[in-house]
Amino acid sequence: MKPGKATTGKSITAGGAGKFYEEPIDPYLPGVGNRGYRVSRYELDLTYKVASNRLAGKATVTAATTQARTKFAFDLSQSLAVSKVSVNGTRAAKYAHQNGKLTVTPAQKIPSGGALSVTVQYAGTPKPVRGPWGEVGWEELSEGAIVASQPNGAASWFPCDDHPSSKASYQISITTDSPYHVVANGALVRKQVRASHTTWVYEQSEPMASYLATVQIGPYERRRVATNTPVVMHAVLPQRLRTRFDHDFARQPEMMETFIRLFGPYPFADYTVVVTDDELEIPVEAQGISVFGANHCDGRRGSERLVAHELAHQWFGNSLTLGAWRHIWLHEGFACYAEWLWSENSGGPTAREIAAQVHRTQSGLPYDLVLGDPGPTLMFDDRVYKRGALTVHALRTELGDDNFFALLHEWTAKYRYGTVTTEDFTDLAAHYSDRSLRPLWDGWLVGRTLPALRDV
Ligand SMILES: [Zn+2]
């Protein structure tokens, strides 16, 4: 088996008007993602009441059809009730909202390649989506809200094509109670205060996968940190955590400069770190934003490894996004290796030393995991992160530092804002080696046993 070979689904007409049996877009998440159109833009106009966790919205999804079909589906949680749907400015002939799918029948048939603009009005009490990886999506905090949607939580707050290969620009407008600070992806283009309510409008112009779309609402203050780095960086957090934050995140500007040197230009206009007043089990990546919990500010830099991990996702995951969830090591293996690179570049143990130690621990674990196709239940398993990072390290050893870092630069430039697969990476890597890398990929990505490291 060749790692990274894309699975292309086919749609099979089972006879009958509009009845289709369709292979899932992604076998790891068979319920989500939709066929027949490509979204280019989402415009979300939302109102949120913090005290009652009530969300009301109007979403306009702009797309181009890729097939002539009678109806089009969007992912949308049943926690939200749809009140009106229009297509290209006229009321939809029909719509149905069942099992997390909003199916829309336009009044007039749209040819393939035609414009599809769907406006959906909806409201409800948003709840996270439950799955094998815990609860993801819109979640209430003690005071405010957090959105962390990897992998399928976007449908908990807006109608979407909830698959990472579907990337689009976004405008997110949120009206909420005035005392709260709101962060969403991209640039704040407008803020309008009206007595008890404030409207915040954010524009995300670089393409973004739906799981990376986010809204953060809380009793936060926003501050610019690091005024002399090439990338504008902000911190958004409760006032009470400021002293600890200033200590724990002090090396972030240096980290940003290190990663730009090692990976290539930072892909977005700015970078914001949000720290919630609540504790969070794990930090969360969003496009241009990372979200940490109050517990990640311990005043001892105890989470600096995670600060590096989340920042690295801006290149590996957010700018370059997997085309199917089986390629998850392209996100987590690289972000984990970035932790080791940060250590090496900031006076800590070298990546080689960390790799040797991690390899010893991994050798003692039962190995039934195939890194290039771990399966849906294991896709966020710690072994994907650690073996993924070891794979990147094995490649670095094989190529040598000059070629390895040149490859990383070309990888992040060639596929900037795009969709990537394992095969895209192995194909590109082949240009940086005189010898075939096939044995390396077979061992690390396809094999079930842990290959030895060459440099330890
Ligand atoms: Zn990660």
Integer Cα distance of 405 and 394 in angstroms? 13
Integer Cα distance of 272 and 237 in angstroms? 10
pLDDT at res. 131: 84
pLDDT at res. 21: 58
Integer Cα distance of 331 and 385 in angstroms? 9
* Å from CA of 296 to ligand 1 middle: 15
Please tell me the class of the 322-446 domain: mainly alpha
- Nearest Cα to Cα of residue 126 among 189, 217, 63, 208: 217
* Å from CA of 285 to ligand 1 middle: 7
* Å from CA of 15 to ligand 1 middle: 43
Q: Does domain 26-217 have CATH number 3.40.50.300?
A: no
How confident is the model over 406-432, as pLDDT tens digits?
Answer: 999 999 999 999 999 999 999 999 999
For range 304-319, the mean pLDDT: 98
pLDDT at res. 229: 82
* Å from CA of 250 to ligand 1 middle: 21
pLDDT at res. 17: 40
**Which helix (H) or strand (E) element contains residue 248?**
helix 242-248
Integer Cα distance of 142 and 217 in angstroms? 11
* Å from CA of 280 to ligand 1 middle: 14
pLDDT at res. 159: 98
Residue 9 pLDDT level (bands cut at 50, 70, 90): very low
* Å from CA of 317 to ligand 1 middle: 8
Return the SS3 of 215: strand
Residue 3 has pLDDT above 70, yes or no: no
Residue 226 pLDDT level (bands cut at 50, 70, 90): confident
* H helical segments located in 273-328: 304-312
* Å from CA of 282 to ligand 1 middle: 9
- Nearest Cα to Cα of residue 263 among 341, 205, 204: 341
Residues of the chain with CATH 2.60.40.1730: 26-217
Integer Cα distance of 388 and 392 in angstroms? 6
Residues of the chain with CATH 1.10.390.10: 322-446
* Å from CA of 284 to ligand 1 middle: 8
* Å from CA of 392 to ligand 1 middle: 15
Integer Cα distance of 65 and 79 in angstroms? 28
* Å from CA of 332 to ligand 1 middle: 5
Mean pLDDT taken over the chain: 94
For range 203-208, the mean pLDDT: 98
pLDDT at res. 456: 65
pLDDT at res. 132: 85
Residue position matching structure tokens 């969709």: 419
- Please tell me whether the overall predicted TM-score, pTM, comes out greater than 0.85 for this model: yes
Rounded (10°) CA dihedral 427, 431, 437, 438:
40
- Nearest Cα to Cα of residue 292 among 417, 148, 168: 148
* Å from CA of 283 to ligand 1 middle: 8
* Å from CA of 306 to ligand 1 middle: 9
* Å from CA of 289 to ligand 1 middle: 13
* Å from CA of 184 to ligand 1 middle: 20
* Å from CA of 161 to ligand 1 middle: 22
* Å from CA of 142 to ligand 1 middle: 25
Q: Does domain 221-312 have CATH number 3.30.43.10?
A: no
Higher pLDDT, 200 or 93: 200
Residue 16 has pLDDT above 60, yes or no: no
Residue 227 pLDDT level (bands cut at 50, 70, 90): confident
* Å from CA of 305 to ligand 1 middle: 11
How confident is the model over 26-81, as pLDDT tens digits?
Answer: 999 999 999 999 999 999 999 999 999 999 999 999 999 999 999 999 999 999 99
Residue position matching structure tokens 């159109």: 37
* Å from CA of 313 to ligand 1 middle: 7
Residue 213 has pLDDT above 60, yes or no: yes
Phi/psi of residue 437, nearest 5 degrees? -90, 0
Q: Which amino acid is at 395?
A: L
* Å from CA of 328 to ligand 1 middle: 9
* Å from CA of 341 to ligand 1 middle: 15
* Å from CA of 150 to ligand 1 middle: 10
Integer Cα distance of 404 and 397 in angstroms? 8
* Å from CA of 294 to ligand 1 middle: 19
Residues in the chain: 456
* Å from CA of 335 to ligand 1 middle: 6
Q: Are 236 and 183 in contact (CB under 8 A)?
A: yes
Integer Cα distance of 156 and 68 in angstroms? 28
* Å from CA of 286 to ligand 1 middle: 11
Q: Which chain residues have CB less than 5 Å from ligand 1, an ion?
A: 332, 335
Residues of the chain with CATH 3.30.2010.30: 221-312
Integer Cα distance of 51 and 53 in angstroms? 6
Integer Cα distance of 174 and 197 in angstroms? 10
Integer Cα distance of 208 and 185 in angstroms? 9
Question: For residues 226-247, b (16+ Cβ closer than 10 Å) or e, as one string?
Answer: beebebebbbbbbeebeebbee
Residue 15 has pLDDT above 80, yes or no: no
Integer Cα distance of 437 and 434 in angstroms? 9
* Å from CA of 384 to ligand 1 middle: 10
Integer Cα distance of 164 and 438 in angstroms? 27
Q: Are 380 and 29 in contact (CB under 8 A)?
A: no
How confident is the model over 343-370, as pLDDT tens digits?
Answer: 999 999 999 999 999 999 999 988 889 9
Q: Are 101 and 236 in contact (CB under 8 A)?
A: no
* Å from CA of 333 to ligand 1 middle: 8
201 vs 2, 46, 61, 178, 240, CA distance in Å? 45, 10, 17, 14, 27
> Which DSSP string do the residues of 346-359 spell out, in sequence order?
TTS--HHHHHHHHH
Residue 443 pLDDT level (bands cut at 50, 70, 90): very high
Residue 8 has pLDDT above 60, yes or no: no
* Range with lowest mean pLDDT among 194-198, 225-229, 430-434: 225-229
Q: Which amino acid is at 321?
A: T
Q: Are 422 and 3 in contact (CB under 8 A)?
A: yes
**Which helix (H) or strand (E) element contains residue 412?**
helix 401-414
